[in-house]
Amino acid sequence: MINIFAEASCNRYVRDECQYCHVYEPLSQISKSDWHLTPEQAQIMADKISQVEIFRELAKREINLTGGEPSQNPHIVEVLKIFKKLTPNVRIHTNLDISSEKSQRWQRLVGIMKLSGRVDFTLYPTVWESRQKPLLVKILELQNELIVNMIFEKVPDLSRQIEILIAFFAGREKKFQPVLSLLEIYRAKLASLLKENPECDENTFLQHMDGVENYSCADSFTFGLNMIPGFYVDKNGERAMNAQPFPKDINLLECTIPRGTIEIITVQQTGEITPCCDVGNLKCQPKFGNLLMNSPAEIMRQVERSRKKIIAGTAKNHQNMNNGKAGEWVEEGVPPYCV
């Protein structure tokens, strides 16, 4: 999968939920004149992606246009058309915090769905009833798949969001019955966890939820849940990997590169390519070059250099953890919690 930041602006930065937003600090450094990814920039990116084999293969799986809030980009439909030439699977990730169907942002989302781009959204309980819910009804009329992102800090938080979705899907068409069944499994699992261990740590949570699917695919409708623990990000953009209250443990990132695969890259607004979903908040120093500025050959050289650094850096992180030096940065610039 390739994540591409199509918009630096987000209309929710001033809201309460966004004090923990991991993209705030990296994106806030982009000047207003560069907020929107232009079709010209998108074309350069698409051309380079198709010339670098690793990226071409990742793009075939999926391109995710994100940000910031991509529906704020006035060119987003044109941008989508350009990336559609690389893969049928282009999706857009929106906050769906949109006031009405008359909004230009909503019109852009409709344009995207009509071109078979998939719209996914992040559930925000504070604007669910007034803004997200009415438009989600419309989205389900226009596309036959959906991923809902849920950011949570505590298990009760996640449980409340599951209840919101159950209330929404209950009583809808028969084709949504499998979605409801999936959500009911989560309801029951979370209820028993809350009863037994309401202040559980991440390990307990993961053990309890082990084996539960996060998607359903039946009756011509595909539905997925993407549950993301919220992390506190301080004013310098440092992400606290042991943010309270959930998860309580240091959260290790299992990097796929030492395991021999690149599964995801992220292209920032500036063209800079990071070798995972790091948008700049993890501060991983080995990068894959710049998709706007570098030639395909330069990018490949950079990929090879960074691959070696990540393999060496994660090995040193293992040693540090075993030697009581967890948390120390290594010279390769690989974050200390990446293994």
Residues binding ligand SF4 (CB under 6 A): 253, 255, 257, 275-276, 278, 282, 284, 310, 334-335, 338
Taking the complex as a whole, the smallest distance from the CB of residue 33 to ligand SF4 amounts, in Å, to 29
* Complex with ligand SF4: residue 175 or 318, whichever CB lies closer: 318
**Distance separating alpha carbons of residues 303 and 144, to the nearest angstrom:** 37
Taking the complex as a whole, the smallest distance from the CB of residue 288 to ligand SF4 amounts, in Å, to 9
Question: In terms of DSSP bridges, do strands 145-152 and 118-122 run parallel, antiparallel, or are they unpaired?
Answer: parallel
* Complex with ligand SF4: residue 107 or 285, whichever CB lies closer: 285
* Complex with ligand SF4: residue 113 or 262, whichever CB lies closer: 262
* Complex with ligand SF4: residue 275 or 289, whichever CB lies closer: 275
Residue 328, SS3?
A: coil
* Complex with ligand SF4: residue 289 or 335, whichever CB lies closer: 335
* Complex with ligand SF4: residue 25 or 278, whichever CB lies closer: 278
CB within 8 Å of 62: residues ≥ 6 apart: 1, 2, 87, 89, 90, 91
Taking the complex as a whole, the smallest distance from the CB of residue 320 to ligand SF4 amounts, in Å, to 14
Hey, what's the torsion of the CAs at 198, 204, 205, 207, to 10 degrees?
-140
- Half-sphere exposure of 85 toward its Cβ, with a 13 Å CA cutoff? 13
* Complex with ligand SF4: residue 97 or 272, whichever CB lies closer: 272
DSSP 151-194: EESSHHHHHHHHHHHHHHHTTS-GGGHHHHHHHHHHHHHHHHHH
Instruction: Report whether 213 contacts 240 (CB < 8 A).
Output: no
* CB neighbours of residue 306 within 10 Å: 24
Q: Of 272, 251, 259, 264, give the one whose Cα is nearest residue 335.
A: 251
* Complex with ligand SF4: residue 67 or 275, whichever CB lies closer: 275
Taking the complex as a whole, the smallest distance from the CB of residue 117 to ligand SF4 amounts, in Å, to 27
DSSP 134-152: HHHHHHHHH-SEEEEEEEE
* Complex with ligand SF4: residue 95 or 270, whichever CB lies closer: 270
Taking the complex as a whole, the smallest distance from the CB of residue 301 to ligand SF4 amounts, in Å, to 17
CA distances from 154 to 45, 215, 225 (A): 39, 21, 17
* CB neighbours of residue 181 within 10 Å: 12
Taking the complex as a whole, the smallest distance from the CB of residue 221 to ligand SF4 amounts, in Å, to 33
What the block records as the tokens of 12 is 């929710």
Give kind and range of the element (H or E) at residue 50.
Answer: helix 39-51
Q: Of 218, 242, 215, 213, give the one whose Cα is nearest residue 230.
A: 242
Taking the complex as a whole, the smallest distance from the CB of residue 18 to ligand SF4 amounts, in Å, to 22
Taking the complex as a whole, the smallest distance from the CB of residue 27 to ligand SF4 amounts, in Å, to 17
Taking the complex as a whole, the smallest distance from the CB of residue 276 to ligand SF4 amounts, in Å, to 3
